[in-house]
Amino acid sequence: MTTPSTLESVWPLFTLRLRTPRLELTPIRDEHMPALVDAALAGIHPPERMPFGVPWTDAPPARLAHDLATYHWSRRAKSTPQLWAIGFTVLLDGRPIGIQEVTADQFLDRRAITSGSWLSAAHQGRGFGREMRAAVLLFAFDELGAQYAETNALDWNAASLAVSARLGYREVGRQPTESRPGVPETQIDLRVSRAEFIRPHWTLTVSGAEAARRELLEDAELRVPTAPGEEIPADASITSRSTQRSATDHE
């Protein structure tokens, strides 16, 4: 008798779980989306500021809900080992409070990932931003064999920049951008190596890592570097403007 298929057997990344002392991160499921929409509509940032590369939070509620869902469906559908993205729902006591996204372009050559995130305003200022970013860095460095992690933030976003600094990121460049049409801003690009990463005092619990490696990495022989000190060239950057730019990694 054939074993019935499950959602996890159809899309193995759904078996992935990252657990920190207070949070659980899991790839976004459709059942998370209504609560994520509500968290975004409740507020992420002051209305006079726009921390994201695309001002998606300016949209009317119905449009915001539609765009948030279709953005993550599209990212999931288009992911390949050459260009992949994982949007994690951040769960606190089982309730979605934000999203932590990780992306990579030509990961097996560059060994670098980019991250972005948002957290509902009601849950900012409690260290969750740092905890959820640390979780995906631990996953990328220790389970996928990444050598570098990159992110960016606008120069006024002190909370996000502080989280990056506390995790060991260093500034690698600045570039002009716009937060909204006609509103000039300065984006700070940041990078941390596996060796520079300031690890948290707690241990990350990971389940589903092997399934994630099968989905994200092409060659089983290249899943995790055999030499921990082996690094990719320092100029192999994948920094880009992201709709999920780290906006609210508040402490």
3-state secondary structure of 179: strand
Closest alpha carbon to 132 in 110, 149, 117, 113? 117
Are 179 and 51 spatial neighbours (Cβ–Cβ below 8 Å)?
A: yes
Q: Where are the domains of the chain?
A: 7-149+202-220
CATH tag, 7-149+202-220: 3.40.630.30
218 pLDDT tier (thresholds 50, 70, 90): confident
Closest alpha carbon to 232 in 170, 145, 142, 152? 145
Q: Is the pLDDT of residue 126 over 80?
A: yes
The pLDDT score that the predictor gives to residue 220 is 42
Q: Is the pLDDT of residue 221 over 50?
A: no
Query: The whole model's pTM is what?
Result: 0.88
Task: State how far the alpha carbon of 243 is from the alpha carbons of 41, 126, 198, 221, in Å.
Answer: 16, 24, 26, 33
